Amino acid sequence: MPAASPAAPIAAHPPGALATLQCEVAACALCPRLREYGDRVARERRRAFANETYWGRPVPAFGDPQARLLIVGLAPAAHGAHRTGRMFTGDRSGDFLYAALYRAGFASAPVSRHRDDGLRLHSAYLTAAARCAPPGNKPLPEEFARCRPYLARELELLPRLQVILSLGKLAHDQVLLVLQQKLGFPRRSAYPFAHGAEYRIGGFRLLASYHPSQQNTFTGRLTAAMLDEVLARAAGRGRWAL
């Protein structure tokens, strides 16, 4: 498999640095288009959630600060994580993902309803390439670029991180951009996206899966068994152990 130069040593960071970063994420206002859209969605709401108060801000990452696995999605869903304030919580994509994380031993429960439901992740951290809900679920290139430093800092602040799982090609491309900046390898094209793809990049393993969107799960492009197999490898029950 393609390999890049070894990862640079991760410097020590003060306790609470990861939580401080997520507070910065929640207060971010770098993308006016996304903030205007998010404010409108939170104000108008969907009929099914008309009596709820939407989170309505950039969504922080969520999980175990000692995680060995980082899972990178695309962006919060307008009436999912943008509503609940927790990544992949409150929509069917999240239902599919959290059930798989529970089966793999990464989550304390198979269902995620809201950010205060007590669900915990074990040795896993859940984030996204863009932290605001985008119109049409399509962040612009410049919006991805403004969010990349958050992802880069998460890689630095997870001291035990070994495996990165990208959900979908757009997330995969953003992960590669961050790793390229960190490690300096010359060609991202050496690490193409494909479901089940697995690469060694520096000191990390990079895995890829189709995104658990309804478009993929309802059509059978991504099945529970397919995601289970990728998560089993992430957990060390495949070719490489954590």
Domain segments of the chain: what residues? Answer: 17-234
- pLDDT tens-digit profile of 34-44? 999 999 999 99
Phi, psi of 20 (to 5 degrees): -60, -40
Q: Kindly state the average pLDDT of the residues 58-79.
A: 97
d(CA 183, CA 195): 24
Phi, psi of 73 (to 5 degrees): -90, -170
d(CA 22, CA 164): 19
- pLDDT tens-digit profile of 143-176? 999 999 999 999 999 999 999 999 999 999 999 9
CB-CB contact of 173 with 193 (8 Å): yes
d(CA 31, CA 219): 33
The tokens 């000692």 sit on which residue?
A: 66
Q: 82 pLDDT band (50/70/90 cuts)?
A: very high
d(CA 87, CA 26): 12
With a pLDDT cut of 70, the percent of the chain lying above it is: 91
Fold of 17-234: Uracil-DNA Glycosylase, subunit E (3.40.470)
pLDDT for 4 equals 41
CA dihedral 154, 158, 163, 168 (to 10 degrees): -20
Q: Kindly state the average pLDDT of the residues 201-224.
A: 96
pTM for the predicted model, two decimal places: 0.90
Exposure b/e, 91-119, CB count within 10 A at least 16 = b: bebbbbbbbbbbebebbeeeebbebeeeb
- pLDDT tens-digit profile of 188-205? 999 999 999 999 999 999
DSSP-derived 3-state class of residue 165: strand
User: Which string of DSSP letters, residue by residue, matches 116-148?
Assistant: TS---BSSEEEEES-SSPPGGG---HHHHHHHH
Q: 14 pLDDT band (50/70/90 cuts)?
A: low
pLDDT for 10 equals 35
How does the average pLDDT of the chain come out, rounded?
A: 91
Instruction: Using alpha carbons, select from 202, 164, 160 the residue that is nearest to residue 68.
Output: 160
Phi, psi of 80 (to 5 degrees): -110, -100
Which residue type occupies 49? F
Q: Kindly state the average pLDDT of the residues 131-135.
A: 97
Q: 11 pLDDT band (50/70/90 cuts)?
A: very low
